Amino acid sequence: MAEKKLTAQQVRFVEFYCRGKSAMEAYRLAGYTGDPHKQAWQIKANQGVQEAIDEKLEAFVKNVDDMIKQSAEDAFNNEIHLMTTAESEMVRLRASQDVLDRAGLKVTDKLDANIKQSGEIMLIDASGKISQDDESPLEENEDNNKP
């Protein structure tokens, strides 16, 4: 571990920096004196300090990732429990839908279509099949308006 190479002040600097303080704030809070504008960045650039910062941040990210995974698993288990034991049929149905949605089996209710402005009318049925309307309403209206 990189912290074995660090002084007590450097360890405090790393702690404050990893808790979200700026390098200058961490410099002051760690007990350093002198101009923080110049020296704080020199301390942060120290190889041992940078390794300790990287290790702490990596451990923090892993911890957050583990917590998210555990929360997702808990939420899934709650949905399964509701799906199988809820008294209300609506609650069971919604829980079932949520489980299927999270499994990637959500029913899409939107239709993507590229519309061309060529004067042609394209019909798209619910299955997504595209067909061309032979007689556009505009042409019919023009014919009806002629004497």
Mean pLDDT of 49-68: 93
pLDDT at residue 84 is higher than 70: yes
Q: What is the pLDDT of residue 111?
A: 59
Question: Is 46 in contact with 32 (CB distance < 8 Å)?
Answer: no
Q: How confident is the model at residue 109 (pLDDT cuts 50, 70, 90)?
A: low
7 Rama class: left (phi>0) / alpha (psi -120 to 50) / beta: beta
What is the mean pLDDT of the segment spanning 18-43? 93
Mean pLDDT of 50-57: 94
Q: Looking at residue 120, what is its pLDDT?
A: 65
Q: In the structure encoding, which two tokens stand for residue 3, read together?
A: 């912290």
Instruction: Report pTM.
Output: 0.52
Mean pLDDT of the chain: 81
pLDDT digits over 114-130, tens only? 655 556 666 666 666 76
β-bridge mates for residue 131, sequence order = 123
